[in-house]
């Protein structure tokens, strides 16, 4: 059984089909990128997978349970227990320190544990910045806090929406390295991005266009940061 | 770490690290609590303040004879029933017909200190009598006989036993007294002369009795009635009466004044609630994105309401404490400027102000917080 399965999922706003009959599967421990240009339906898919929205039609099976029929309260519980979210804008609570931001996720999930939160910050290389406020951290550091917060409750899936969209190259590399580390530890990663360099390091890249699954690129040589031919081909298409 | 500890850590962090934002809200709450606490203090202190003011209008209780012989000792038994802090003054009066320059005049023998306390509206041109051998003359008497302060005045008295005899002058008692002042009251007192009870007793040759005692008591109408009942029940030699003209008008003015202050308090409370609600709506609205984030990472609506409400209530509590202190200062200033006397601190107002402040802030925040929990996290996190 796949960890996540979308079956004929539609999201329709009036005349607009933001998602149009999308079906996909994500296996446990897999690293999948979702790519596509603006308006291709990436964010809609991210919201549906992240239990922040429901499809107009179709099924979304997470761990075998159809979450498309769940109410708002149940979806909150699914988000809390099974999904770790990473955002492009970081979205840290500005008056809480880095470690308190990590503990916030623990607080809603089970029980806050400062020691464990500090260890999570240590994993993302921010042990010495644990007691700084977000305003005292660089963009890259804030995103690493966001990663620590996403992984603190050992979620089934880490869902990242444009995680490097607001980062410079050096910080982008740090975050991608963190993803490698998490993947090696067995975490399932779904990364929504429009940056081919970020997408191409995943095991598999799903390309969306006009709400449909346009292409699926499998990284045959997945070992870490290897660029592959299919992705280069995709880039050429994109730049045309 | 326990959940409750994290809860408190989040609330205090929000209040302490968002100081400039929270200060605006706190200011609004503290001003509301200040005005509320100040007005309630004034509301409760008005009877005491006005009671003291009303005592300027003269005696509000009279003791008269009940058993055929009214003595100073009877009066003292009567006044002993009234608590010492409520008794502003008590003055015994004995009235006799005397003659000044062969003209009949009513003379009153009294305790001058008591008379001064019970009748603070009396205006004396010159000095009050401070010892025996002195006399105050009413303005009309002074005008009739062209009397002035500092002059000596001979007062004559014909004893009742001599009045049946033909030659009155031989039997007249006389006493020479120094005029210390001329009494101006605008009332019948201007036709009388006032001397010490001891001088009148010397003049008449009879001592021990008085006609009436005037009492000035600082109390409300119910308390006054209860004192009257207690005196009538416990001192058989004395009959106590209320001066209805004074007590009734005091009650009317007091109740109208208190109603006015109460009305103002209610209006201010309503305005405070609106002001606090508006501020809290603004505070919560600007944190919609944070609420969206909390929802996205798994916070339930109940949890979010609990956190924001806790924050508001803590703010309300701090505002309430500030309100108690500033409200007392406010009430004190009003009291000094309006009533020219300081106000009593109402300890009961401490918990009341803090509780009302917490409740008003909590209720004002509830509505915007509830509407904020309806935020769709996906929209907020996208920056829409």
A9-58 pLDDT, tens digit per residue, is: 999 998 899 999 999 999 999 999 999 888 889 889 999 999 999 999 99
Query: Can you give the pLDDT at residue A225?
Result: 45
For residues B254 and B15, give the distance between their C-alpha atoms in angstroms, rounded to a whole number.
Answer: 44
How would you classify the pairing of strands B192-196 and B134-138? antiparallel
What is residue B209's DSSP assignment?
A: B
Query: Can you give the pLDDT at residue B167?
Result: 53
Q: B381–A76: do the CB atoms touch at under 8 Å?
A: no
Residue of B nearest to A117 (CA): B1
Considering CB atoms only, which of B3, B13, B298 is closest to A79? B298
For residues A105 and B110, give the distance between their C-alpha atoms in angstroms, rounded to a whole number.
Answer: 86
Residue B125 lies in a domain: yes
Same structural domain for residues B258 and B331? yes
Q: How many structural domains compose chain B?
A: 2
Name every chain B residue with its beta carbon within 8 A of the beta carbon of A53: 378
Interface test with B, best of A74, A87, A93, A94 (most B CBs within 10 A): A93
Residue B270 lies in a domain: yes
Residue B307 lies in a domain: yes
Same structural domain for residues B201 and B297? no
Same structural domain for residues B40 and B81? no
Joined together, the tokens standing for residue B30 give 């503290």
Query: Can you give the pLDDT at residue B3?
Result: 87
Residue B247 lies in a domain: no
Considering CB atoms only, which of A85, A94, A112 is closest to B297? A85
pLDDT lower than 50: segments of chain A: 225-231, 234-235
Query: Can you give the pLDDT at residue B371?
Result: 83
Same structural domain for residues B206 and B65? yes
What is residue B111's DSSP assignment?
A: -
Chains A and B form CB pairs within 8 A to the count of 75
Same structural domain for residues B237 and B202? yes
Answer yes or no: are the C-beta atoms of A189 and A174 closer than 8 Å.
no
Same structural domain for residues B107 and B229? yes
Residue whose pair of structure tokens reads 């009257």 in the numeric block: B228
Query: Can you give the pLDDT at residue A58?
Result: 94
Domains, chain A: 27-54+70-239 (3.40.50.300)
Q: A76–B300: do the CB atoms touch at under 8 Å?
A: yes
Q: Is B373 on the interface with A (CB under 8 A)?
A: no
Residue B138 lies in a domain: yes
Q: Is B299 on the interface with A (CB under 8 A)?
A: yes
Same structural domain for residues B182 and B282? no
Q: B13–A114: do the CB atoms touch at under 8 Å?
A: no
Query: Can you give the pLDDT at residue B231?
Result: 93
How would you classify the pairing of strands B134-138 and B238-242? unpaired
Residue whose pair of structure tokens reads 């005005």 in the numeric block: B35
Residue B100 lies in a domain: yes
Residue B203 lies in a domain: yes
Residue of B nearest to A153 (CA): B297
Same structural domain for residues B78 and B43? no
Residue of B nearest to A107 (CA): B3
Query: Can you give the pLDDT at residue A227?
Result: 39
Final residue of a domain: which of B189, B214, B242?
B242
Answer yes or no: are the C-beta atoms of B17 and B310 closer than 8 Å.
no
SS3 state at A212: strand
How would you classify the pairing of strands A16-26 and A4-13? antiparallel
Backbone angles phi, psi at B125, to 5 degrees: -90, 105
Query: Can you give the pLDDT at residue B5?
Result: 92
Query: Can you give the pLDDT at residue B351?
Result: 93
Answer yes or no: are the C-beta atoms of A208 and A48 closer than 8 Å.
no
End-to-end CA distance of chain B: 35
Same structural domain for residues B218 and B311? no
Same structural domain for residues B363 and B270? yes
Query: Can you give the pLDDT at residue A199?
Result: 86
Answer yes or no: are the C-beta atoms of B277 and B364 closer than 8 Å.
yes
Same structural domain for residues B104 and B183? yes
Same structural domain for residues B209 and B227? yes
Q: What is the pLDDT along chain B (384 residues), one digit of tens a residue?
A: 688 899 999 999 988 888 887 888 888 889 888 988 888 888 888 777 777 777 777 888 999 998 888 999 999 999 999 998 888 999 999 999 999 988 999 999 999 999 999 998 899 999 999 999 999 999 999 999 999 999 999 999 987 665 555 554 556 788 999 999 999 988 899 999 999 999 999 999 888 899 999 999 988 888 889 999 999 999 988 999 988 777 788 788 888 888 888 898 888 878 877 887 788 788 778 888 898 899 999 999 999 999 989 998 999 999 999 999 999 999 899 888 887 778 888 888 899 999 999 998 888 888 888 887 888 888 766 654
Residue B167 lies in a domain: yes
Domain of residue B127: give its range: 60-242
> Smallest CA–CA separation between A86 and chain B, in Å?
10
- Could you tell me which of B42, B23, B36 has the C-alpha nearest to residue B323? B36
């Amino acid at each position: 059984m796949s960890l996540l399965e979308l079956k004929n999922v539609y999201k329709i706003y009036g005349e607009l089909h933001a998602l149009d009959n999308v079906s996909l599967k994500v296996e446990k421990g897999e690293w999948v990128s979702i790519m596509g240009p603006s308006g291709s339906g990436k964010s809609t898919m991210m919201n549906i997978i992240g239990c922040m929205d429901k499809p107009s039609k179709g099924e979304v099976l997470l761990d075998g349970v159809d979450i498309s029929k769940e109410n708002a309260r149940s979806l909150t519980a699914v988000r809390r227990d099974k999904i770790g979210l990473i955002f492009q804008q970081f979205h840290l609570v500005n008056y809480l320190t880095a470690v308190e931001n990590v503990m916030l996720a623990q607080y809603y999930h089970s029980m806050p544990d400062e020691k464990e939160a500090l260890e999570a910050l240590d994993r993302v290389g921010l042990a010495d910045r644990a007691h700084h406020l977000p305003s005292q951290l660089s963009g890259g550091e804030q995103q690493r806090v966001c990663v620590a917060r996403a992984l603190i409750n050992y979620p089934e899936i880490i869902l990242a929406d444009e995680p490097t969209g607001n980062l410079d190259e050096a910080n982008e590399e740090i975050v991608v390295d963190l993803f490698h580390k998490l993947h090696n530890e067995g975490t399932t990663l779904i990364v929504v991005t429009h940056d081919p360099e970020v997408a191409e390091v995943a095991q598999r890249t799903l390309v969306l266009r006009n709400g449909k699954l346009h292409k699926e690129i499998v990284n045959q040589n997945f070992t870490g940061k290897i660029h592959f031919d299919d992705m280069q081909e995709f880039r050429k298409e994109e730049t045309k | 770490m326990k959940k409750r500890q994290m809860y408190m850590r989040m609330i205090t962090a929000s209040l302490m690290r968002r100081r400039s934002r929270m200060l605006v809200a706190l200011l609004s709450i503290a001003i509301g609590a200040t005005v509320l606490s100040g007005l309630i203090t004034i509301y409760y202190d008005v009877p005491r303040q006005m009671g003291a003011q009303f005592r300027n209008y003269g005696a509000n209780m009279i003791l008269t004879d009940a058993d055929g012989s009214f003595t100073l000792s009877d009066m003292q038994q009567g006044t002993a029933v009234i608590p010492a802090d409520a008794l502003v003054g008590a003055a015994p009066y004995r009235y006799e017909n005397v003659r000044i320059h062969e003209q009949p005049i009513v003379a009153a023998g009294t305790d001058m200190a008591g008379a001064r306390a019970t009748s603070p509206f009396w205006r004396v041109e010159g000095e009050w009598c401070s010892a025996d051998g002195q006399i105050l003359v009413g303005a009309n008497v002074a005008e009739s006989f062209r009397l002035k302060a500092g002059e000596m005045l001979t007062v004559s008295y014909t004893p009742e036993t001599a009045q049946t005899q033909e030659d009155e002058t031989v039997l007249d008692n006389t006493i020479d007294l120094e005029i210390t002042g001329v009494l101006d009251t605008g009332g019948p007192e201007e036709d009388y002369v006032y001397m010490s009870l001891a001088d009148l007793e010397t003049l008449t040759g009879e001592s021990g009795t008085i006609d009436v005692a005037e009492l000035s008591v600082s109390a409300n109408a119910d308390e006054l009635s209860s004192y009257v009942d207690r005196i009538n029940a416990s001192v058989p030699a004395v009959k106590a009466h209320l001066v209805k003209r004074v007590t009734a008008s005091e009650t009317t003015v007091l109740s109208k004044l208190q109603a006015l202050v109460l009305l103002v308090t209610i209006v201010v409370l309503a305005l405070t609630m609106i002001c606090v609600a508006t501020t809290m709506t603004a505070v919560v609205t600007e944190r919609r994105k944070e609420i969206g984030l909390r929802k996205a990472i798994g916070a339930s609506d109940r949890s979010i309401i609990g956190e924001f409400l806790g924050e508001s209530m803590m703010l309300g509590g701090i505002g309430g404490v500030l309100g108690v202190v500033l409200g007392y200062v406010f009430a004190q200033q009003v009291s000094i400027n309006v009533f020219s006397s300081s106000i009593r601190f109402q300890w009961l107002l401490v918990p009341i102000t803090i509780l009302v402040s917490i409740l008003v802030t909590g209720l004002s925040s509830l509505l915007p917080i509830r509407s904020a929990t309806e935020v769709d996290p996906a929209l907020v996190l996208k920056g829409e």
